[in-house]
Structure 1
């Protein structure tokens, strides 16, 4: 298992943060959300911190915290902030002690812009991270899933596999087969999202 894992999604709102919490719990990894937008809705770092129960994981503070619930480049523009991606990448080595796995959660999908010139997929490449793709079934999700897989293949970025969230659908099996990336697990919808649920789901993931 890679020591630097980037959690991306096939779109927005597909369950990246809960998935990240489960992966963090499973690996007793550290967690980092480099750029947080939509602060009025709370932070993903606080969510993950509240969902993990192991005593080892550290949730690192964000490099950028932006108010607007928008793409990082737009949220930064609204606050007259310039996101320095090189500065963010340089922080990783200091955040990640030798031998410690680090789970990094992105904003939205691969083509979400961090700046006017740099997209999330460029950021992943600079981080030298392996990717877990979070999928979910909805109208159009097959297209989004396979486009995500294809662009990762084209860029030569290592992919660990898929984690699906929400209600199970047979589309998942076909996406796995078509993409060539393995299924690492699935996280069902729950009415009670708490540490017990995350721990139970973490134990079911295939991350060895």
Structure 2
């Protein structure tokens, strides 16, 4: 059986991609991989996911690029005289027997990874369907619909939306306007832990499997 890869991207930075990645990873007992990690002083997203999951199946795979500066990948890479190469990322895709691999992006679709390419180019190169993470805040309708439009323009297959936190009742409007299915809503918590991730994973699992 071939491995199904799922790319987790968001409508911007700080929308909770790592938390959602942990929840989806737990729901599918998938492997996890973040190709580009920028900013190492406060820990890594891979480390966050490792601490949040509790199943004994998931493997956390090492990053293709580990960059010290907490900045856009192209800036962080340039500070170390590195140019991020999509071919290297493609060649670094982890190999395992797990039927699912969760791939977490950096920021949103149009975050630059070098002077010519963006996170969206990684997705199109790997030909990986995406889960879109939208955080509920004032302005997120615009950011959500712009993200959906980029996916449509680039022919990126979208599995569905996961909404993080709760602000106003406009999730269904974003679903309707974008034409992208609803997977679930993750409530706000100040201190997510593996119990929280387990509960949320169980909540979205059936819908997630339905859409895959």
1:143-154 matched pairs, under 5 angstroms: 143-154=142-153
Measure, in 2, the Cα distance between the counterparts of 1:145 and 1:153.
12
Quote how far apart the aligned CAs of 1:97 are: 2.9
Instruction: Return the offset for 1:48.
Output: 0.2
Q: 2: distance between equivalents of 1:97 and 1:38?
A: 27
Across the two proteins, how many residue pairs are aligned to each other? 205
- 1:74 maps onto 2:75 in alignment: yes
Instruction: Please say if residues 29 and 100 of structure 1, whose CA atoms lie closer than 8 Å, have aligned partners that are also in contact.
Output: yes
Q: Which runs of 5+ in 2 are unaligned?
A: none
* 1:196 has 2:195 as partner: yes
Deviation at residue 79 of structure 1 after TM alignment? 1.3
Query: Offset of 1:98 from its aligned partner?
Result: 5.0
- Give 5+ residue unaligned stretches, structure 1: none
Distance of 1:13 and 1:61 partners within structure 2: 22
- Tell me by how many angstroms 1:68 deviates: 1.0
- Deviation of the 1:99 alpha carbon: 5.6
> 1:132, 1:159 within 8 Å by CA — same for their partners in 2?
yes
Separation of aligned partners in 2, 1:115 and 1:42: 23
Q: CA RMSD in A?
A: 1.2
Match of 1:132 in 2: 131
* Aligned-partner SS, 1:40: coil
TM-score, L = length of structure 2? 0.93
Equivalent runs, 1:172-191 vs 2, <5 Å: 172-191=171-190
Counterpart contact for 2:31–2:98, Cα < 8 Å: no
Select between 39-48 and 160-169 the one with higher mean Cα deviation: 160-169
Instruction: Tell me the TM-score normalized by structure 1.
Output: 0.95
